[in-house]
Structure 1
Amino acid sequence: MAVTKIKAIRGTLSKAIAYILNPEKTDEKLLVSSYGCASETATREFEWTRKIAEQKGMNPVRIIARHVIQSFEIGEVTPELAHEIGKQFADEILGGKYEYVLTTHIDKDHVHNHLIFNAVDFVDYHAYKSYKRIYYDMREVSDRLCKENGLSVIPPSQNKGMGYKEYTEAKRGTSWKQKLKQTIDRLVITAKDYDDFLRLMQEAGYEIKTGKYISFRAEGQERFTRSKTIGENYTEERIKERIAGRTPRRNRRQTMPKGISLIGDIQDRIRLIDSKGYEHKAKLTILKEAARTLNYLTENNLLQYADLEKKVEDVHSSYDRTGKELKDVEARLREVQPLIKNISNYQRLKPVYDAFQKAKDKPGFKAKHEAELVIFEAARSTLLAMQGDEKLPSLKTLQTEQQRLLDERQRLYDERAKLKKEAKQIETIKSNVDTFLSPSADHDRDHLRSTQRE
């Protein structure tokens, strides 16, 4: 399980990076990684990227970097695994375009990652676009990576608006929200109706505020808590349903004999629906969906249930295949793009470095061109680390490969979007077939056939 937070950095980047690099927190810097920059010179490199972007016409940015914190459950993950998840997380949400520094802190009971990334990318030199759902999209990626690595995930209905501290308090039963949930859970069982429930909540010490959303405040609590913020089972509507003893409907998967014939049986079902006393509107909806299902099955020559199952499997298999291909393309882009950045910086600043080597007043020259010399040294060190003794590829060759990879990535994005839509459609069709050919439908079809024989 990981809880994520994101913060904006406007003017204290060097202090923020120094804090997350603290050797006492990072096992003497063993749990430190960076991308597109060196951790020691990240502040300068972030600034240099922003400077180039402004030279290319970008307006100066107020937010110069962003800081993401990813906290893990106590005792659930090793520092090494947490760090690896952090790298996978950073690579996915940033797309190999933004310099970042990632560290894993082990100085507290819970292991947690700090990710600081530049607010301007070094590929297109565009400012990072924040949006309303950014936290939820990051959280979705973090949760998926936790699942893939065998870690627990906070259920969606339990995590809305929770930071790490509040979640751990909730697990111990000490937060206001957790106590409110426990009280509601206890009282919906004993309440005769909704009015009685409100009376029991007041007797339990809660002040109630009604309006568009019902809110509760316990004795000693500073602010009211809207019940809808603690989970989908705690809205006013759901509380009323729970008191009345109703539960939300859930979709149920059904299995069908593999040899079952689809077209004829569904046509029988349509005739049966048309003959039974359904309400006119309901009948039209069912018949319309049945007709759509029949058209799809006919157009795709899916005459047996086994054919439909194979179609579902093929679509999902193609979706998984394109996902693996996309990962390979993005992994190569993450190698190529920093190479382009550092070779460009090396070539651009080599004359400054050569002038420094020839300067009589080296301290004075260095003071005047400190930023350029730092970036040059960072580029040279990075290229040596990346390529070793191998000859560097030409910038033109790398840029050609980058464009090819970008085109391939876009093609895979488009194909996956198409397959995702197709998967959704085929799952709906299969669900319709399962519904039309359910055991109760079998009974109705037998009844229809016996009636036709008579």
Structure 2
Amino acid sequence: MSAIVKVHSLRGNIQDAIDYILDEDKTEPILTSCTNCSVPQLSGTVWKYQQNIRFDDTMNSNGIQGYHFILSFDDMNVTSEQVHDIAERFLSEATNDEYDGVIAVHTNTDHLHAHIIVNPINKNTNKKWDLYFKKEINRFKEIENRICKDYGIEPLPIKRGTSRSWWKHHNEKIGDGHDAIITKTLDYLVNKVQSYEQLKIYLTNIGYTVEDDLDATKQIDENRLRNFEFTINKKLINENLSDEYSYFIRIPFTNEYFQIPIENGTWVNAEKNTLKCKMDLTKNYVIYDKAANIISSNKSGRIISQNLEEKNSKGVREGLRIKVPGSKYFRRCKYLKNKENLDLHYS
């Protein structure tokens, strides 16, 4: 069995992240701790005060208020106490004891995992930790693997230059995930039903929960078939490659980019976090990689739209959504791909 480490930066109110990992529904006091503090619940407030008195707005320009590490374990024999000990050792070694942190082990899922929130201010120099993930991630993995060996936990092989997601590794261990279960069910049923309504009845009868916003009597006009409206988070917009004429947008769930004319995009709020766009489904688009090299010159708008979130006139996301028995979350069929034909989705 093995363990996996993930890390990402935190912006906004770091106390919110600390409140989340200390949620009593997910952990218990004996599985929580902090460095240089007596009450973990107050750490975020203290850290924020320290940052305010040590740094001016210029120093805080990157917006990073902390770092969030997650150590995940699929070894059913490891105990929550051991996971907490591993997290404490990991925090010490990964930060060279130069940064404070809050630790909480979550026991509310099938697999134990430890959350570590780290204060980015160095205790010795008062400088901020500028963490470069791509450079440091393998060092973090090596630290965790070394510690886990002391507890008889098999390390996950480190692949240089590649990344391996938790879900990919997890699904290889336990079999089909929810996406595979749903697609296999749909592949089986679609040849046995005579209508969409009958399909939903079958799915409900075998334990799935089904939702959609479709009205069977609704007439889809010609304009709707041609023009597609969607919203995109600013994180998907490459500002360096966008210009006064177009936005350079990454297609969600891919490493491909395409362009939307400036006049077809409108920011929906003053903070410019969300861009509302229009695109022509009948048009072919040029597809680029992240370096703006052309990958394809004729990808249809309809194919691209399968990875985008359509908004109807009421602002509600449309399409078939299915929840697997026992799951808390719905999966939008629009994002499910057929392995035999990647251009085919299950909406």
Normalising to structure 1: TM-score of the pair? 0.37
Q: Which has the higher strand share?
A: 2
Structure with the bigger RCO (C-alpha within 8 Å, sep 6+) is 1
Q: Which has the higher helix share?
A: 1
The structure whose Rg is larger is 1
Normalising to structure 2: TM-score of the pair? 0.48
